[in-house]
Amino acid sequence: MAGPKDNPGEPGGLSAAEAARRLATDGPNVLPGEGTRSLLRIVGETVRDPMFLLLLAAALLYLLLGDLKESLSLLVMVCVVIGLTLYQEGRTERAVQALRDLSSPRARVIRDGQVCVIAGRDLVRGDLLILAEGDRVAADAELLSGGPLELDESLLTGESLPVERRAGGAAATVHAGTLVVQGQALARVRATGVHSQMGRIGHALQTVQAEESPLRRQTRQLVHRLAVFGLVFCLSLVVLQGLTRGDWLQALLAGIALAIAMLPQEFSVVMTVLPALGAWRLAREQVLTRRMAAIETVGATSALCVDKTGTLTLNRMRVAQLNAAGAVHALEPAGRGELPEDYHELVEYAILASRVDPYDPMEQAFHALGRSDLAQTEHLHGDWELVQEYALSPGLRAMAHVWRGQGQGAHVVAAKGSPEAIIDLCHLDAGHRIAVAASADAMAAKGLRVLAIARALHPGPPWPAGEHDFDFRYVGLIGLADPLRPGIPQAVRECREAGIRVVMITGDYPVTARAIAAQAGVDAHEVITGHELDRLSDAQLQQRLQTASVCARIAPVQKLRIVQALQAGGAVVAMTGDGVNDAPALKAAHVGVAMGARGTDVAREAAALVLVDDNFASIVHAVRQGRRIYGNLRKAMAYILAVHVPIAGMALLPLLLGWPIVLFPMHIALLELAIDPACAMVFEAEPAEEDVMQQPPRDPRAPLFDGAAILHAVLQGLGVLLAVLLLYVWGLRTLDEAQARSLAFAALVLGNLALIHSNRGGRRGMLAALRTGHPMLWGVSAFILGLLALSLYLPLLASLLQLEPLSAGQLLLAAAVATLCVPWFALLRRYLGRRA
């Protein structure tokens, strides 16, 4: 794929126009297997559904019986039902593909001289790719500068140990799919998509994984049991009818009609459509779903572990207070005035202890203060050179930089870190320790993030093994303000009302953590520190977390123990994270939630949900959406089970009682046209119950349908069956066979409408639900009524269905019979609800 234009010399990267041209030429940067399902594949999966196979079998039997018109009509009906199913499947597939596009790996590139973040699929040859720790390399590329990089190439080679890659040598190539474990570098993309090494191997990375959730497993088991029961029942009916009447073809046709009536194939429809479209709705609220099972689980969350910085707060740091030589200087957000000379050294060494080109918001705040207040001073000479770095470590929460200046006899060492770490590095006496700790506590009590600064001189190489070998002198304290995000107290209050504990986890000073937690509305009475956590056994930690909701001075590797302790206590845990070290905790949590803006690719891959805006309030929206989807699933399942009772009953009872048949396969196929959009579209669009966030979290181990729910649904269906059956008996006595069938069919269709409205009402009841109708409900209701009108009054269709037009009085009678079911539904809801 290399070409003459692969190495443009401009440091600003490709232009947007050139990138678009290359994308059109080479195609998107995706791997084999990442595309959508083709129309042909969806059709193939649809026609293999048992219901369609039964309808085709019925059409074949009609052909064998010599009824060509009935056979062709049934085939047309099969095509119509398939078309409706394809519409639903296509809508679901488009929603899933939209999620794939949104949650695909991100890439930071330089285009038109600007750093921008693009979808990995839009990466092209020649792009300047910025790689940093935690990134998943999105394409094959050649390192140009920076590094060296430590790369995990186990996905390609199976080798578990990281390998080193550096610019300018034989080992300058990095491959798509590998993970940056350490380092930063600039690389130029050489190959994308199928032309990369990963693409040639043919390995497919799916961004939206299909996994069987507990609800899907429960539903599959329920459908399996109902299918076995229905099959045995239908075969028994076929044998009985064949032996008693001798007409085996008619007996087989009756058995097929009963099988279609009893098979609740819509269960699989709602289990696919509702979560997929729910995930699409969540994406509009800035929450991407990487695993569909999380849609169900997030609604059952009972403990929510959240980072403070960037999730509860805006992660927009500014220096708010300086403490040097015991004196305190407050800086206002605007119009802070000239910075006194006494604090120049403190700011200078804070900058020297930070990266030259900072990414961290705290370091950016130090540099911003330096540019505004130290630019015209003798501090921060531009000719200094960074010669040695000491990184932050779990053992010492401080970092140091060694600088060589022109004409300097000794090297300057600047350190910054937690107050306790800097106190330790400076070997302060007891009096100074107490004074510094008191000053830090006073700043932290205002909700400020407090860092201490120290300086030292060193003659030069060799460099000490650790910071403790430098002779540091304490300089002062810096307090940084990071305001809460708007709406955080309200979101935390919603969680509390919903029975969800919010556990704040932060690396901050305990006093700061307590102050921010109190501002956010998180219970701040008890605080666990990382040092205390290390001393606790698993059982003791589990006990402490029953009452403590703030964890401070926590290292990323300790988050996993917190998650596991909460889970051991019976909580369903959602966990936020953004770093490489957060991945184990994100995987261990029931619902891992990664940060989309500042999170690493590794964190996003380990998580089930991704917050595009890193906002805690978006998690609360996800919980609400998860509860809404679960509630609508229950409503849809209850409706499906209930509506199949009268259909199966009207297909079976007239046959057993020797009456004229009411429902032929054609009628049941027509009823499916009314049932499918109702269960998939109406219930998917249902809004959440008004008190959905005032209910306690559900037990995820509880079955979707317990005995009471099944009994409620069956009794609803029996009520409709009894009403329609009695009307049919009356019709047989007063009308001819076709009119009686028409009357019963109309009552069954209208009873189906009553079941839709009753089940969507939930605990509110039908009348309350009617006040909150939505366009999809009214559209499907109109469609069903239109379908009934065509069946009765379109001569060709009425003839095929063996129906006759009904008079206005007969229609009103059918409507009245269906309406009489409503008090029965209300009585069931009240009685069974009281028992529950």
Dmax (CA) for the chain in angstroms is: 115
Q: In DSSP terms, which residues pair with 404 in a beta bridge? A: 385
Distances, alpha carbon 69 to alpha carbons 59, 73, 133, in Å: 10, 6, 69
The helix/strand/coil state of 154 is: helix
Q: Are strands 287-289 and 473-481 parallel, antiparallel or unpaired?
A: unpaired
Query: Is 757 buried (19+), middle (13-18) or exposed (0-12) by CB count in 10 A?
Result: buried
SS3 of residue 151 by DSSP: strand
> Where are any strands of DSSP class E within 169-301?
173-174, 179-182, 185-191, 287-289
CB 638 within 8 A of CB 759: yes
Catalytic residue among 135, 152, 307, 508: 307
Helix boundaries (H) for 735-804? 737-761, 766-770, 775-793, 795-801
Say how far apart CA 240 and CA 182 lie, in whole Å: 74
* Burial label, 75 (beta-carbon count in 10 A; 0-12, 13-18, 19+): middle
d(CA 546, CA 568): 11
Amino acid (one-letter) located at 407:
G
Distance CA 704, CA 635 (A): 10
* Residue 378 CB neighbour total at 10 angstroms: 8
Contact 520, 312 (CB under 8 A): yes
Helix (H) or strand (E) holding 308: none
Neighbouring residues of 24: CB distance < 8 A, sequence distance ≥ 6: none
Specify the DSSP class assigned to residue 686: P
| Sequence-separated (6 or more) residues with CB below 8 Å from residue 239 | 251
The residue among 773, 804, 758 whose CA lies nearest residue 643 is 758
Q: Structure tokens of 499?
A: 């029975």
User: Exposed (0-12), middle (13-18) or buried (19+): which is 814, by Cβ within 10 Å?
Assistant: buried
Residue 289: C-alpha distances to residues 41, 210, 219, 275, 540 (Å) = 24, 12, 21, 10, 35
Residue 469 exposed, middle or buried by CB count within 10 Å (0-12, 13-18, 19+): exposed
Q: Which two tokens stand for residue 824?
A: 């029965």
**Cross-strand bridge partners of residue 96:** none
277 vs 629: CA distance, rounded Å? 9
Q: Exposed (0-12), middle (13-18) or buried (19+): which is 162, by Cβ within 10 Å?
A: middle
Distance CA 183, CA 171 (A): 15
What is the rounded end-to-end Cα distance, in angstroms, of the chain? 67
Q: For residues 746-755, b (16+ Cβ closer than 10 Å) or e, as one string?
A: bbbbbbbbbb
Separation between Cα atoms, residue 735 and residue 729, nearest integer Å: 10
* Phi (first) and psi of residue 15, to 5 degrees: -85, 160
Beta bridge partners of 389: 401
Say whether 307 is catalytic. Answer: yes
Distance CA 476, CA 490 (A): 37
Task: Tell me the C-alpha distance between 443 and 328, whole Å.
Answer: 10
CA 93 to chain centre: 16
What is the DSSP secondary structure assignment for residue 578, as one 8-state letter? -
DSSP helix/strand/coil, 315: coil
Q: Which residues are catalytic?
A: 307
